[in-house]
Amino acid sequence: MVAKTGGSFSARLVARQLVVLSMVVEKTFLMEKEILRLRHHVSVLLRWLCMSERRTVELEALMSTTEQVESLLREELTATEEEVAEEWKRAEVRKKEAEVAVKEAEVARRGVAGAEEKVASATKEKEVVMKEAEVAVKEAEVVRRCVAEAEEKVVLVMKEKEVAEREAEVAKSETRKVMGMAMEEVRRFWKARDRNEVLQEKVEELEREVERARKEFAGTKRIAEGPDDVSGVVEDWENSGAVGRVGILVKPGKVIVVEETKPKKKGKKTK
C-alpha cells in the first residue's frame, strides 16, 4: 500500500509540473506574439517619426524660403516706394522747369523784339563798316608793300641765321674737343690722386713698421734725420770703440741700431 501511494504521489507531481510547464510555454508563446506585435508597432512608429522629421525639415526649409521671399519682397517694396518718391520729385521738378520755360519764352519774345531793333541798327552799322572796309583795302595794299619789304628783310635775317648756326656748330665742335681734353685731364688727376693715396698708405705702413722695429729692439737705437746727423756712442765697456763711429753717411729716415755689448769677464786671480 505504501508503494502505491508513493507512486501515485510522484505521478501527481509530474502531472502538476507538466501542467505548469504547459502553462509557462503557452505564456511564453503569448509573450513572443506580444513582443512581435510590439516590435511591429515600434517599427511603424519609427517610420512615422522619420517621416515626421523629414516633413519638419521640409517645413523648416519652406519657412526659410518664405522668410527670404518676404525679405526680398520687402526690399522690392522699399525700392519701389523710393522710385515712386523719386518720380514724384522728378515730376515736381519738371513742373517747375515748365514754368521756368514759359517765363523764358516770354523773355525770348521780348528779346526778339529787341533783336529786330538791333538788326536795324546793325544794317546801319554795316553801311558804315563797308565804307571802312574800302579804306581798309587801301590800307591793305600799303601793308602788302610793307610785308614784301619785311619778307626781304626776313630772307636776309635767315641767311645771317644760317651763318650764325654754322659758327655755332664750329664752336660746339671746339667746345666738345675742349671738354674731351678737360675730361682726360680730370681722369689723369684722379689717377694721380689714387696713386698718391696708395703711396700715402704705403708710407703709413712703413712708419708703422718703423715704430714696431723701435719697440722690438731693446738696445740703443736712433733715427738719423740727415747725412751728417750721426753721433758717436760712448760705452763704459772694453769694446765700446767698435760701434757708433763718427763720419758714417746715412740716408734721411734710415734706422741705425747700436747693439749693446757685454763686458768681458775678468779672470780669477790665482793665488
pLDDT at 6: 55
The angle subtended at Cα 24 by Cα 23 and Cα 28, nearest 5°, is 120
**In sequence order, what are the beta bridge partners of 223?**
255
The whole-number pLDDT of residue 241 equals 44
As a three-state string, the secondary structure of the chain is CHHHHHHHHHHHHHHHHHHHHHHHHHHHHHHHHHHHHHHHHHHHHHHHHHHHHHHHHHHHHHHHHHHHHHHHHHHHHHHHHHHHHHHHHHHHHHHHHHHHHHHHHHHHHHHHHHHHHHHHHHHHHHHHHHHHHHHHHHHHHHHHHHHHHHHHHHHHHHHHHHHHHHHHHHHHHHHHHHHHHHHHHHHHHHHHHHHHHHHHHHHHHHHHHHHHHHHHCCCEEEECCCCCCCCCCCCCCCCHHHCCCCCCCCCCCCEEEECCCCCCCCCCCCC
**Pairing, β 255-258 against β 220-223:** antiparallel
pLDDT for 76:
87
For residue 235, the model assigns a pLDDT of: 41
Give pLDDT, residue 271. Answer: 43
User: Which residues of the chain register pLDDT less than 50?
Assistant: 1-4, 218-227, 229-251, 257-263, 268, 271
